[in-house]
C-alpha cells in the first residue's frame, strides 16, 4: 500500500541521498532529540577511543612528532597557530565558494541544455563521464601554466571537481518526470518550456540538493588541491609548507580544520534545502513519522 | 679481479664482472631522494650508476623521483638514506633536530641567484623587489632569505609570495611572478636558450656568506649503523662527480642516456655541465666534495642571527647550534 | 449501437481509428485496429479491455497527444486529430505535485493555459466544497488520504472547463472500500454537471454502475468487441448493483472480457 | 500499474546508476545496435569538433607547445613514447588493482558489520562520512613519510578514495530489504544470518555494482594521485616528470592513457556484473524492451 | 458466534489480545484492543477492516513475529505467543526474489528451514501443475504475469506444510479481472486441501465469496465489530455472488465498514 501511494506521484519520488540515508537508520519512529542523541553518542565514543589509542601509542612508543604527533600536540600547536590557520582557511573558503558558484552556474546551464535537447544529451553526457576519468592532479599544474596562479585556475579546479555530480543530479532529477505527467501537462496545453517550468524543474530540486550535498564535500578538498599546486595562501599551501618544515602536527591541524569546514558546508545545504523546498522537508518528516 | 667487502678500493678500470666470493650475495639497497627532476646537479649520481661504481660497492641505488616532499623530510622519516639538499635549506631542519647530516658538497659555492626578467627596468636592485611577487618552492628558508637580501639592499623586505614549485620559472618568464631563484647553470641557461634574458642578484653581494649550493644529505642514524655502506655510497657518488668534472661532455651524455625520456637537448646539458664543472664544483685546493667548518659556521651564524632557526615546536632557538654536528667529510675520506 | 444521425452530432466520434508504433529495426506494433464509436454530449461511457490492449493509446489520440496512423477523431463533428483544447485528462495515478498545495495543484491546468495565478486559484478554490476538500486548500498532497487525492485530481481536471473528460482508471490505485465511496460520490457530482465523460477501468462493476454505455475492447490490437447500453435509472445507488438487470450486464461483460484476457495471455505466452 | 508492479518486490528494486542512467535515455524502445549507434555518434562528432578546433586554434595562434600542444602532436609524441608510457601505465594499473582489492575487502567487512549492528552503524557511518572530508592531498605525503615509497601507501590512497562509495552502496543495498520481506523470512524460521544470506546479500548486489562502477573511476585517478605524491614508476610520476620537463604534450598523452584505462575498467564492471548477477541484466533488458 | 467447546479445540484462538506500540517520548499507540475469536481446523476466515486499523499487526502476532502486550494466541489449545512454527504467511506484495527462479522462490521457505536445496526444490516443483505454473519453473519472476506471481507466492506459502495459512491481502495488487480469476482458482485448490486459512482483504465481495466466516474489525484500535457466518454451499461459483443470501451478507458488511471507515477518517482529520 505504502509503496503504491509513494510512487503514485511519479514526479515527487524522493531521491536517495547516499550519505544522509546511510547515516540515519531508515525507519525512525523516535522523536528528533532522542534520535540525535542515539546517533551522535556512538560516533563520539568511537572517535574518542581512536584518539585515545593514538595518543597512548604514540607516547608510549615514543614516535617522533615529525613522523606522527599525538593528537594532544596537534590540538595544542594548532591552537597556538590558530590565527595563521584561520587566515589560510579564509582564503580556501573563498576559492571554494567562488569555484562552487561557477560550478553551479555551469552545471545548470549544461543540465538544462541537455534536458531540452536529446541529441545534446547523448552527445555530451558520455563526454562528461569521460571527463571525470581525467586526473585533475595532472591538469591542475597545466591550468596554472594556462591561467596563471590567480583565483581563476583554482576556481576552475573546484568547478571541474564538483560540476559533474550536480549535472548528473539535475539531469536525473529532470528525468524523474514520467511520460504520464508530460502527457497531463501537454493535455492542459503546455509545451516543452511549460513542462520544464511547471514540472521538471521543481521535481528535480530534491535530487539537486542531494547532488549539491555530495558536490560540496568535494569542493573544499578540490580547493585545497588546487592550492597545493600553486597559490599564495590557503590551507593547501599551508599544509605543503608545514610538511616540508617537518611540522606534521600543523599539517594535521590544518586537515582537521578542512574537515570541519567541509562538514559545516555540508550541513549548510540542509538549511538551504529547507528554505528552498520546504514541502520536501515536510513530506519527508510526515513520512518518517508514520 | 677481486675487490674488498665494501668495494671502495676497486679501481676505475673495473670491467664490471666483479663478484668476489667475499662479496654479499645481494647488494644493499640505498634509496636516494631527488630534489627536482633530473638535472646537472645530479650528474655524479647518474655517472656512478652508469659506470657501475655503486655496483662495485655492492650497492643497489633506488632513485626516489622528485615529489612534493622535500628530500630532507623523507630522509628524516627513514624513507630514504640519502638525498640532495642545499646547505642553506637543510640547515633549518637540522637545527630543529632532524636526523640529517651533510656528507658531500656537490657545489662549493652559490649557484643560484635572485632573478628577474632583464627587461624589468623598474628593478635595479633587490630593494626594488618590495611589494612584488615571488615565485617560491615551499621550502622553509626561502622567504627569510629573500627578505634578508632585500633588506640588505635597503628595502623593507615586504613582498608577496606564491608557492608554485616546478611552475615557478614558467611564471617568471610569462611575467606572472616578478622574481624567483633559478640555478644559474640550469634554469639560467635554459632561459637563455629560449630567448629570455634574466638579470641576477647574487647573494654574496648582499651580505650573505657563501653556501654549498648543492649537498648530499644522509640519515645520521642509518649512516652510523651502516658506516661501510655509507662510505661506499658517498665515495662512489664522489667518483661520479669527479668524472663529470674531468669530462663534462661525456658526463652530460651519460646524464641524458640515463634519463632519455626527459632530457633531450644534449647541447644544453653539455653547456650546463661544463659551466658547473669549470666554475662551481671544486674548492680552493682543487678538490671535490669537501666541506669546511668555517663555511658552516659562517652561514649558520647568519641563519641563527636572522632568527630563522626554530626548534621542533616552532620556537626560535636560544643558542646557536654546534654546526660541526651537521656535516662530515668522514664518509668521503675514510 | 446508437445511430449518430438520429441522436444529433456526437460530441466525440472515432472514425476507423488505426494506430501503429514503430519499434525500430523496421518492426511495427499495431495497437489499435479499426476502432469506431461515438459519445453523445453528456453521455458517460466506460471503456474496458485487457491489460495492454491499447486503451491509453486510444485516450492519447482522443486527447490530441498522439495522432492516429489512419482514421479520424471528430469533436462535435469536426476533425480534431492532434487538437488538445477539447479534452481534460485525468490519469490513473493522481499525479498531484508534492511541491504544490492542493489549491495550487487544482489550479495547475488553468495556470498552464495562461490564466493569472490568483484568478486560477480562485476558480479552483470555488469547487473545493463540492469535492469534499473544504479546509484542505493549503495542505500538501501527502497530507491527504488516497480518496481525497483522487478527488483533487478530478477537480484539477474539471476546473479547466473542457467539453470532454477523459478518466484513465481514476480509482485503480484505491482500495475497494474507498473506491466504492468514490464511485458513489462521482456519480453524484456527475449528475449535477453535464460532463461528457469517457472512463477507462478494469472494474466491471464500476463500469456498469457509472456508465450509460460500456465498450469492451479486444486484446491488442484493440478493436471494439462489445458496446452495451446500460439502461438503469439514475440516480443509482449501491443496492442497484444487485438488481437482475445489473447482474445480467455484468455477466455479459465478464464473459467477453475473460475470453479476451485469455487471448492476451496466450499471445504473451507465445512470445516467450 | 507498471509502478506498482515494479516496486511490488521491494527486495528487487533496481538501484539508480547515476552514470549509466545519465548516459542513456530512460525509456528505450529501439534495439541495441541502433541505440548504440545513436548514443555513440553524437559524442564522437562533438569530440571531433573540439579536437579540430583545438588543433586549428593552437596552430594558427602559434601557441608554444610547452603551453598547449596541438592534439596531433600529443598523439604523435605519445606514440613515439608508447613503450615508456605503457610501462608506467602497467605500474599504475598494478597500484589501482591491488588498492581496489584492498578497498573491496575493507568495504565489505565494514558494510557487513554495520548491517549486523545498528549501534556500529550509527557509530561508524558519520565517521566514514567525515573521513571523506579529509583532503587526501594532505594525507598522501604523510603516508609516504609513514610507509615509504613502496606499494603500501599507494594502495592505501586508492583504498581511501574508493572504499566509501562501496560501503555506502552496500549498506544502502542491504537496507533495500523492507520490513515485510524480513517478516516473511522470519515467519519461515530464518534468523538474522539467514535473512542476510537469503535476502539482504543478493538484493544488495545490483546496488553494489553501481557503487563499484563509481568507485572504479576514482581508483585510477587515486592511483595517479598517489604516484604524483611519491613513486618511482607510474603514470603519475611520468606526468609529473614530463611537466617539469615542459613536455605538456607527453603529459596530455599520459592523461589520455589514464582516461582510456579508467573507461576500460568502468566497462569491465558491466561484464562482471553480467557474470555475477545475470538475473539483474535479464530483468533490466526485459523491462526496457517492454 | 461458534462455540469453541462444541466444535472441539479450535486451531487458532485469540484470547483478549491487546497490543500497544511505544512511540518514544513516553507516548504509546494502542493498535489492538481486546480481540478474541477462534478459527476451527479447516475453516476459511476473512478479516476485513478500515485501512491502518491493525490487521497486519494482528497477523504478526498470530505468526509469532510480534508478541501481544497482553492476551494470548492459542494454537490447538496451547499458548503459542511468539512461536513461529505453526503458520505460513503470504504477504500482499508477492515478494518473489528477482534473483531466484520461480522454483527456487517456491522452495525458499523449505530452504530457510534447512531442507537440502535439491529436496526443497523437488518438493516445490511437485505443486507446480496444480498452481498453473507448469513450465515456468526456471523462469524469473519478472517473466510472469501478476496473477502467476501471486500463485507462485501462494505456492511458496503452502509448500512449507504449516498448519495455518495467513494471507495478508494476497490479491490487493491485482486488477479486478485477474483478481476474479485468482479468487475462483483459490477456492478450487482450497477445496482440495484442508488448509486452515485466515485472509485479510479490503474487498468485501472477495471476503464473502471465499470464506466460511467474515470478521469485521473496528477502526484503530482494532476490536471485533462483527463476526458473520457465510452459509453458502460449496463449491461456489461466480453466479452465486448475485444470490440474495450473498447480497444480504455483502450489504451488512458494507454498512458496518463504511461506518468504521468514516470513524477512522474523522480520527485522521482530528489529528491535523
Ligand atoms: N510509444 C510506443 N511505442 C511502442 N509501443 C507502444 C508505445 N506506446 C504504447 N505502446 C504499446 O502499445 C500497447 C498498448 O499500450 P496502452 O498503454 O495503450 O495499453 P492499456 O490498454 O492502456 O494498458 P493498461 O491496461 O496496462 O493501462 C502496449 O503493448 C504498449 O507496449
Ligand atoms: N512498530 C510499530 N510502532 C508504532 N506503530 C506501529 C508499528 N507497527 C504498526 N504501527 C501502527 O499501527 C497501526 C496499524 O498498523 P497495521 O499495519 O497493523 O494496519 P493494517 O490494518 O494492516 O493497515 P492496512 O490496511 O493499511 O494494511 C498503524 O497506525 C501503524 O502506524
Ligand atoms: C635545478 C633545480 N631548479 C630549481 C630547484 C628548486 N629549488 C629548490 S631549493 C632552491 C633554492 C631556493 O631556495 C631551488 C631553486 C631545484 N631544486 N633544482
Ligand atoms: Mg493504460
Ligand atoms: Mg496491513
pLDDT tens string B45-69: 999 999 999 999 999 999 988 877 8
Going by pLDDT thresholds of 50, 70 and 90, the confidence category of residue B10 is very low
Query: Mind telling me how many Å the CA of D277 is from chain A's nearest CA?
Result: 22
- What per-residue confidence (pLDDT) applies to C51? 79
pLDDT, tens only, C36-57:
999 999 999 999 988 788 899 9
Residue nearest to atom 1 of ligand 1 (CA): C21
Q: Is D touching E (3+ C-beta pairs, cut-off 8 A)?
A: yes
Instruction: Indicate if the pLDDT at residue A30 is higher than 60.
Output: no
* Residue of E17, E21, E66, E69 with the most ligand 2 atoms within 8 Å of its CB, for mutation: E21
CB contact under 8 A, B67 and D232: no
Instruction: Indicate if the pLDDT at residue D15 is higher than 70.
Output: no
Is the preceding peptide bond at C140 cis, omega within 30 degrees of 0?
no
Of E176, E202, E254, the CB nearest to C203: E176
Instruction: Indicate if the pLDDT at residue D10 is higher than 50.
Output: no
Of A172, A223, A173, the C-alpha closest to A202 is A173
What is the 8-class DSSP label of residue E63? T
Instruction: Indicate if the pLDDT at residue C23 is higher than 80.
Output: no
CATH number 3.40.50.300 given to E1-86+202-272: yes
H helices of chain D, where? Answer: 2-8, 18-23, 32-60, 71-80, 82-116, 118-131, 136-147, 151-175, 179-187, 192-195, 201-229, 235-244, 248-276, 278-289
Of B171, B181, B172, the C-alpha closest to B203 is B181
Apex B61 CA angle, B59 and B65, nearest 5 = 170
Is the preceding peptide bond at E221 cis, omega within 30 degrees of 0?
yes
Q: Cβ of B224: how many Cβ atoms within 10 Å?
A: 11
| Average pLDDT, integer, range D172-191 | 90
First to last CA, chain A: 13
Residue C52 CA to ligand 1 centre (angstroms): 5
Of E51, E176, E265, the CB nearest to C175: E51
| Average pLDDT, integer, range A58-70 | 91
**Which residue did the predictor score with more confidence, A112 or C189?**
A112
| Average pLDDT, integer, range B124-147 | 90
**Sequential pLDDT tens for chain E (272 residues):** 444 444 588 999 999 999 999 876 678 889 999 999 999 999 999 999 887 889 999 999 999 999 999 999 999 999 999 999 999 999 888 899 999 999 999 999 999 999 999 999 999 999 998 888 888 999 999 888 888 898 899 999 999 989 899 999 888 777 777 788 788 888 888 888 878 999 999 888 899 999 999 999 988 889 999 999 999 988 887 778 778 888 889 888 888 887 877 776 666 555 54
Residue B143 CA to ligand 5 centre (angstroms): 74
Place of cell 505468526: E63
Place of cell 564492471: D269
* Residue of E17, E20, E54, E267 with the most ligand 2 atoms within 8 Å of its CB, for mutation: E54
| Average pLDDT, integer, range D155-182 | 91
Is the preceding peptide bond at C221 cis, omega within 30 degrees of 0?
yes
| Average pLDDT, integer, range D44-71 | 92
pLDDT, tens only, A39-57:
788 889 999 999 999 999 9
| Torsion sign, CA atoms E171, E175, E180, E185 | negative
| Average pLDDT, integer, range A20-32 | 41
Residue C143 CA to ligand 5 centre (angstroms): 20
Q: Which three cell numbers stand for residue C250?
A: 455484468
Question: What percent of chain C stands above pLDDT 70?
Answer: 93
Instruction: Indicate if the pLDDT at residue B243 is higher than 80.
Output: yes
CB contact under 8 A, A67 and B77: yes
- What per-residue confidence (pLDDT) applies to C16? 94
Q: What Å distances lie between residue E14 and C201, D166, E195, E216, E224, CA to CA?
A: 40, 47, 18, 15, 11
B98 within 8 A of A246, measured Cβ to Cβ: yes
B69 within 8 A of D145, measured Cβ to Cβ: yes
Q: Cβ neighbours of residue D166 under 8 Å, at least 6 residues apart?
A: D103, D104, D107, D108, D111, D208, D211, D212, D215
- A-chain residues within 8 Å CB-CB of E53? none
DSSP element (H, E) containing B31? strand B28-33
pLDDT, tens only, A186-234:
999 888 999 999 999 999 999 999 899 989 988 998 999 888 877 888 9
Q: Residue C64 — left, alpha, or beta (φ > 0 → left; ψ -120 to 50 → alpha)?
A: left
Place of cell 540525535: A36
Place of cell 576500460: D264
**Of the ranges B166-170, B329-333, C223-227, E234-238, which one carries the lowest mean pLDDT score?**
E234-238
Q: Is B touching C (3+ C-beta pairs, cut-off 8 A)?
A: no
- Find the helix packing angle between B248-258 and B227-246, rounded to 10°: 120
Pairing of strands E196-200, B114-117: unpaired
Residue nearest to atom 23 of ligand 2 (CA): E52
Instruction: Indicate if the pLDDT at residue D8 is higher than 70.
Output: no
- E-chain residues within 8 Å CB-CB of C199? none
Place of cell 511520460: A179
Q: How far apart are CA E246 and CA E225, in angstroms?
A: 19
Q: Which three cell numbers stand for residue B24?
A: 654479499
Query: Mind telling me how many Å the CA of D160 is from chain B's nearest CA?
Result: 20
Of E112, E94, E116, E105, the C-alpha closest to E139 is E105
Instruction: Indicate if the pLDDT at residue C4 is higher than 50.
Output: no
- What per-residue confidence (pLDDT) applies to D145? 86
The bound ligand whose nearest atom lies closest to the alpha carbon of B166 is: 3
D134 by Cβ neighbours in 10 Å (0-12 / 13-18 / 19+) ranks as middle
CB contact under 8 A, C23 and D1: no
Query: Mind telling me how many Å the CA of D236 is from chain C's nearest CA?
Result: 46
Of E94, E113, E146, the CB nearest to D188: E113
Q: Which three cell numbers stand for residue A195?
A: 513542462
What are chain E's partners, defined as 3 or more CB pairs within 8 angstroms?
A: A, C, D
Residue C9 — φ and ψ, nearest 5°? Answer: -65, 125
| Average pLDDT, integer, range C184-191 | 85
What are chain B's partners, defined as 3 or more CB pairs within 8 angstroms?
A: A, D
A136-150, D193-207, E166-180, E189-203 — which one is most confidently predicted on average?
D193-207
Q: Cβ neighbours of residue D227 under 8 Å, at least 6 residues apart?
A: D91, D92, D95, D154, D233, D234, D235, D236, D237, D240
Q: Give the D:E interface size as CB pairs under 8 Å.
A: 85
Q: Which of E20, E24, E201, E220 to mutate to test the interface with A (most CBs of A within 10 A)?
A: E24
| Average pLDDT, integer, range D173-192 | 90
CB within 5 A of ion ligand 4: which residues? C 56
pLDDT, tens only, B205-217:
998 899 999 999 9
The bound ligand whose nearest atom lies closest to the alpha carbon of D288 is: 1
Residue B37 CA to ligand 1 centre (angstroms): 66
**Which residue did the predictor score with more confidence, A144 or B86?**
B86
Q: How far apart are CA B241 and CA B247, in angstroms?
A: 10
E213 within 8 A of E181, measured Cβ to Cβ: no
Domain ranges in chain C are: 1-86+202-272
| Average pLDDT, integer, range D59-71 | 89
| Average pLDDT, integer, range C171-185 | 79
Bridge partner list, B217: B83, B102
Place of cell 598494478: D94
**pTM of the model as a whole:** 0.85
**Of the ranges B44-48, B257-261, D286-290, which one carries the lowest mean pLDDT score?**
D286-290
| Average pLDDT, integer, range A136-155 | 85
Q: Find the closest chain D residue to B73 by CA distance.
A: D145
Coil, strand or helix at D92:
helix
Place of cell 504477504: E91
Q: How far apart are CA D179 and CA A290, in angstroms?
A: 14
Going by pLDDT thresholds of 50, 70 and 90, the confidence category of residue A11 is very low
Of A160, A174, A259, A253, the C-alpha closest to A215 is A160
Of D281, D290, D280, the C-alpha closest to D9 is D280
- D-chain residues within 8 Å CB-CB of C172? 1
Q: How far apart are CA E197 and CA C77, in angstroms?
A: 57
E210 within 8 A of E44, measured Cβ to Cβ: yes
- Say yes or no: CB of residue E219 within 6 Å of ligand 2: no
B54-87 burial: b if 16+ Cβ within 10 Å, else e? bbbbbbebebbbbbbbbbbbbbbbbbbbbbbbbb
- Say yes or no: CB of residue E29 within 6 Å of ligand 2: yes
Longest dimension (CA), chain C: 56
Q: How far apart are CA A168 and CA A205, in angstroms?
A: 13
Q: How far apart are CA D68 and CA A144, in angstroms?
A: 12
- E-chain residues within 8 Å CB-CB of D277? 99
Q: How far apart are CA D200 and CA D203, in angstroms?
A: 5
Q: How far apart are CA D121 and CA A24, in angstroms?
A: 8
Q: Residue B39 — left, alpha, or beta (φ > 0 → left; ψ -120 to 50 → alpha)?
A: beta
Going by pLDDT thresholds of 50, 70 and 90, the confidence category of residue A25 is very low
Q: Which three cell numbers stand for residue E15?
A: 484470547
H helices of chain A, where? Answer: 2-8, 18-23, 32-61, 71-80, 82-116, 118-131, 136-147, 151-174, 179-187, 192-195, 201-229, 235-244, 248-276, 278-289
Going by pLDDT thresholds of 50, 70 and 90, the confidence category of residue A154 is very high
CB contact under 8 A, A137 and D236: yes
* Residue of E28, E29, E171 with the most ligand 2 atoms within 8 Å of its CB, for mutation: E29
Q: Which three cell numbers stand for residue A285?
A: 518528516
Q: How far apart are CA C2 and CA C42, in angstroms?
A: 14
| Average pLDDT, integer, range B276-303 | 93
D219-247 burial: b if 16+ Cβ within 10 Å, else e? bbbbbbbbbbbbbebbbbbbbbbbbbbbb
Q: How far apart are CA D41 and CA A119, in angstroms?
A: 10
Ligand 1 atom closest to the Cα of residue C53 is 21
- What per-residue confidence (pLDDT) applies to C263? 73
Of D271, D273, D162, the C-alpha closest to D220 is D162
Amino acid at each position: 500500500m505504502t509503496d503504491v501511494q509513494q510512487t503514485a506521484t511519479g514526479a515527487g519520488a524522493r531521491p536517495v541521498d547516499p550519505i544522509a540515508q546511510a547515516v540515519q537508520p531508515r525507519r525512525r519512529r523516535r522523536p528528533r532529540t532522542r534520535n540525535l542523541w542515539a546517533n551522535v553518542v556512538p560516533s563520539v565514543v568511537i572517535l574518542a577511543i581512536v584518539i585515545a589509542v593514538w595518543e597512548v601509542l604514540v607516547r608510549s612508543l615514543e614516535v617522533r612528532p615529525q613522523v606522527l604527533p599525538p593528537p594532544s600536540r596537534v590540538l595544542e600547536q594548532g591552537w597556538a597557530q590558530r590565527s595563521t590557520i584561520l587566515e589560510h582557511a579564509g582564503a580556501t573558503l573563498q576559492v571554494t565558494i567562488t569555484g562552487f558558484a561557477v560550478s553551479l552556474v555551469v552545471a545548470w546551464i549544461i543540465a538544462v541544455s541537455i534536458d531540452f535537447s536529446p541529441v545534446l544529451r547523448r552527445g555530451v553526457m558520455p563526454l562528461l563521464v569521460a571527463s571525470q576519468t581525467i586526473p585533475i592532479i595532472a591538469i591542475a599544474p597545466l591550468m596554472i601554466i594556462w591561467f596563471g596562479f590567480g583565483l581563476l585556475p583554482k576556481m576552475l579546479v573546484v568547478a571541474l571537481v564538483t560540476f559533474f555530480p550536480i549535472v548528473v543530479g539535475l539531469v536525473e532529477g529532470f528525468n524523474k518526470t514520467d511520460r504520464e505527467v508530460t502527457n497531463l501537462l501537454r493535455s492542459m496545453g503546455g509545451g516543452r518550456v511549460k513542462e520544464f517550468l511547471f514540472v521538471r524543474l521543481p521535481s528535480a530540486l530534491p535530487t539537486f540538493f542531494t547532488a549539491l550535498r555530495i558536490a560540496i564535500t568535494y569542493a573544499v578538498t578540490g580547493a585545497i588541491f588546487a592550492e597545493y599546486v600553486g597559490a599564495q595562501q590557503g590551507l593547501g599551501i599551508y599544509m605543503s609548507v608545514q610538511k616540508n618544515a617537518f611540522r606534521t602536527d600543523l599539517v594535521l591541524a590544518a586537515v582537521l580544520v578542512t574537515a570541519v569546514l567541509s562538514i559545516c558546508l555540508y550541513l549548510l545545504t540542509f538549511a538551504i534545502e529547507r528554505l528552498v523546498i520546504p514541502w520536501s522537508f515536510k513530506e519527508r518528516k510526515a513520512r518518517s513519522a508514520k | 679481479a677481486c675487490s674488498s667487502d665494501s668495494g671502495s678500493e676497486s679501481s676505475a678500470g673495473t670491467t664490471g664482472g666483479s663478484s668476489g666470493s667475499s662479496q654479499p650475495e645481494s647488494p644493499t639497497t640505498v634509496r636516494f631522494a631527488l630534489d627536482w627532476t633530473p638535472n646537472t646537479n645530479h650528474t655524479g649520481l647518474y655517472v656512478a650508476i652508469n659506470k657501475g661504481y655503486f655496483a662495485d660497492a655492492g650497492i643497489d641505488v633506488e632513485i626516489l623521483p622528485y615529489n612534493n616532499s622535500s628530500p630532507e623530510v623523507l630522509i628524516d622519516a627513514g624513507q630514504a638514506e640519502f638525498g640532495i639538499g642545499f646547505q642553506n635549506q637543510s640547515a633549518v631542519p637540522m637545527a630543529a633536530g632532524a636526523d640529517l647530516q651533510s656528507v658531500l658538497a656537490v657545489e662549493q659555492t652559490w649557484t643560484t641567484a635572485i632573478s628577474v626578467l632583464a627587461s624589468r627596468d623598474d628593478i635595479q636592485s633587490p630593494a626594488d623587489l618590495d611589494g612584488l611577487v615571488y615565485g617560491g618552492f615551499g621550502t622553509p628558508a626561502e622567504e627569510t632569505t629573500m627578505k634578508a637580501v632585500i633588506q640588505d639592499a635597503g628595502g623593507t623586505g615586504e613582498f608577496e609570495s606564491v608557492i608554485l614549485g616546478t611552475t615557478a620559472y614558467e611564471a617568471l618568464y610569462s611575467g606572472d611572478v616578478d622574481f624567483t631563484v633559478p640555478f644559474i647553470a640550469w634554469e639560467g641557461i635554459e632561459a637563455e636558450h629560449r630567448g629570455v634574458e634574466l638579470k641576477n642578484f647574487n647573494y654574496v653581494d648582499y651580505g650573505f656568506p657563501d653556501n654549498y649550493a648543492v649537498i648530499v644529505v644522509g640519515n645520521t642514524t642509518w649512516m652510523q649503523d651502516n658506516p661501510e655502506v655509507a662510505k661506499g655510497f658517498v665515495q662512489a657518488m664522489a667518483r661520479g662527480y669527479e668524472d663529470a668534472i674531468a669530462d663534462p661532455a661525456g658526463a652530460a651524455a651519460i646524464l641524458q642516456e640515463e634519463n632519455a625520456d626527459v632530457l633531450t637537448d644534449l647541447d644544453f646539458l653539455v653547456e650546463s655541465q661544463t659551466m658547473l664543472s669549470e666554475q662551481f664544483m671544486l674548492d680552493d685546493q682543487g678538490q671535490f666534495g669537501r666541506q669546511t667548518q668555517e663555511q658552516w659556521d659562517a652561514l649558520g651564524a647568519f641563519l641563527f642571527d636572522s632568527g630563522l632557526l626554530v626548534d621542533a615546536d616552532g620556537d626560535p632557538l636560544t643558542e646557536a647550534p654546534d654546526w660541526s654536528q651537521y656535516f662530515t667529510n668522514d664518509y668521503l675520506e675514510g | 449501437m446508437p445511430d449518430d444521425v438520429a441522436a444529433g452530432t456526437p460530441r466525440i466520434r472515432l472514425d476507423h481509428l488505426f494506430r501503429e508504433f514503430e519499434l525500430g529495426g523496421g518492426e511495427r506494433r499495431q495497437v489499435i485496429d479499426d476502432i469506431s464509436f461515438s459519445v453523445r454530449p453528456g453521455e458517460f461511457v466506460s471503456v474496458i479491455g485487457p491489460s495492454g490492449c491499447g486503451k491509453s493509446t486510444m485516450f492519447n489520440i482522443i486527447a490530441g497527444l498522439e495522432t492516429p496512423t489512419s482514421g479520424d477523431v471528430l469533436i462535435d463533428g469536426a476533425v480534431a486529430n492532434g487538437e488538445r483544447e477539447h479534452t481534460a485528462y485525468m490519469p490513473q495515478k493522481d499525479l498531484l505535485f508534492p511541491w504544490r498545495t492542493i489549491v495550487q495543484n487544482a489550479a495547475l491546468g488553468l495556470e498552464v493555459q495562461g490564466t493569472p495565478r490568483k484568478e486560477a486559484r480562485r476558480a479552483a478554490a470555488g469547487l473545493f466544497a463540492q469535492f469534499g476538500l473544504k479546509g484542505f486548500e493549503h495542505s500538501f498532497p501527502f497530507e491527504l488520504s488516497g480518496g481525497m487525492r483522487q478527488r483533487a485530481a478530478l477537480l484539477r481536471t474539471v476546473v479547466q472547463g473542457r467539453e470532454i473528460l477523459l478518466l484513465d482508471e481514476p480509482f485503480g490505485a484505491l482500495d475497494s472500500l474507498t473506491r466504492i465511496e468514490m464511485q458513489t460520490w462521482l456519480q453524484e457530482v456527475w449528475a449535477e454537471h453535464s460532463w461528457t465523460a469517457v472512463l477507462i477501468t478494469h472494474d466491471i462493476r464500476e463500469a456498469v454502475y457509472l456508465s450509460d454505455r460500456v465498450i469492451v475492447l479486444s486484446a491488442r490490437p484493440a478493436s471494439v468487441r462489445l458496446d452495451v447500453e446500460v439502461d438503469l435509472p439514475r440516480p443509482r445507488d449501491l443496492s442497484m448493483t444487485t438488481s437482475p438487470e445489473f447482474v445480467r450486464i455484468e455477466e455479459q461483460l465478464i464473459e467477453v472480457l475473460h475470453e479476451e484476457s485469455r487471448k492476451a495471455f496466450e499471445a504473451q505466452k507465445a512470445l516467450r
